[in-house]
Structure 1
Amino acid sequence: MSVLEGRTALVTGAGRGIGAAVARALAAEGATVMVSDAGVSVDGDGHDAGPAETVAAQINDSGGKAFADATDITDFAACGDLITRAAETLGGFDVMVNAAGILRDGMVFKMSEQDWDAVISVHLKGTFNLTRHAAAWWRENRGGQYRLINFTSMSGLQGAPSQPNYAAAKMGIVGLTFSCANALKGYGVRSNAIAPIAGTRMTQGIKGGGSMDYSDSNARLAPDNVAPPVVYLASEQSEWLNRRVIFAGNGRISLMSNPVVEREIVSASGTWDVPTAFAEIESSFKEAVLWPNIFDKPPAQ
């Protein structure tokens, strides 16, 4: 018996790339899937039902069961209609996967208000719109094993320098995911995030750059490699896992650490004066924060 037999799922951004790989993987394991994708360009322009219809047809032709949808996830009311329609069409509503996204890159000192708003609207507001309506449905239909799976990014977790809008949205999604994990666990919901790495049309602009090969020939970065942990999170076996971020791709599945107190200084009197605070902060914290991240340039040889 397939691990998701009888489960139902809605996946956004499922017409291409990682979202499509996730939709196909969920269906291959027995889930009935609503494939949702507005069919926009990488920067969010246009509207085309074709990508969602193509993926749904692929699933159905392979013996699975899928339905296509092209809802604009930035529309709050439309997302409410989508959740209701998905529950009726699928025969239930167990899993919400928020994977839709666009890119409008630029350094923060050059970014337009429109480019900021567009990315925040799709990623952060879109994730909220569907999560809000899904949560209401789960609250009214208690007793299931429900799963909220949101897509974040290392761009946010590490701070990509040319993606302030995308990074902010993706870190906002982490906060939303954690809040939902705490708020909805009493209704049978487990809420986690995936930070993927894969070669898709959203990474085409960086192919051939840096140390990572995003070309289609690199099987390690195939979107399909992101799907297995998503399938696990969607299953009933993942009931123990809540309020975490999972990295997936490039041959790795990693449990990311949640924010914790790394080092701490405590005043015996409960108050601080500025000179003492300066001295203690540098002596206790400075060594801990002098570490490289993935966007640091290597030292000159």
Structure 2
Amino acid sequence: MLGGSGWSFPAVSAVNAAVLFVVFTGVFAAGQARQRHRYVDATWGSAFAVVAVVTLVLSGGGDTQHWDTVRRVLLVVCTVVWGVRLSVHIAWRGRGAPEDPRYAAMLARAGGNPTWAAYSRVYLLQAALVWFISLPVQVGIFVSGHPVAGAVPVVTLMVVGLGLWLVGVGFEGIGDWQLARFKADPANRGRLMTAGLWRYTRHPNYFGDACVWWGLFLIAVSTWPAALTIASPVVMTWLLTSGSGKPLVEARLSAARPGYADYVARTSGFIPRRPRRPDPRHRQDVG
């Protein structure tokens, strides 16, 4: 596949991989100097935005059809908006905070050179994940033509994908805002957030992230080659539900909050739904 600029997709994707290597290596150098590897979390979202912009610039305009332009604009705008918001939120939330317990525990367990362990297991791994998870965005921006089956399915996929992206950004943004307000109140110190969106799912931010990436996949898949990248949103969903997301957070909260088991018993772990049963004992659980 060649873009309007004459670049092939493998070449564009290789450039993205190189850019991510440079970005995450630079963040590693800053984190190593300050002994705070938590800075990499604030890089995660914006790294996806960088990939989208680089892909757009290198793919060129060419003689694209109307729906190619719409798809490209949607993918770039949606990826940048989601990524920048997430990076800003994580950077603001973590200002002045000590090292993330996850990274501290990982480095404590690491054998051999701890510096290499941090670089390879945190930074290089995240760079590789960004590259892989962003493949639907890369393909959707790069490819011209190749509609699934005409204009109506293309429009339908884009509309459904955009709708799912909006749901995801809404859940993630509102959930983060609600939790930030809750934690800002000194009266809530040591308590669990069980109101708002957190009443219907223990992880509205992770549910929102999954919706965002399935939405981007649906927008991209309006051109059929993007269907080959379905493993990317699958991997993202797995990371959120079974990898480095939900399990680690819940292990920490279970140890720190005695009331967390009751919250788990009545509240969905991912997909929002009504609490399983009314609980007369339910109030803001003190941990």
Q: Which has the higher helix share?
A: 2
Q: Which has the higher strand share?
A: 1
What's the TM-score once normalised by structure 1's chain length? Answer: 0.26
What's the TM-score once normalised by structure 2's chain length? Answer: 0.26
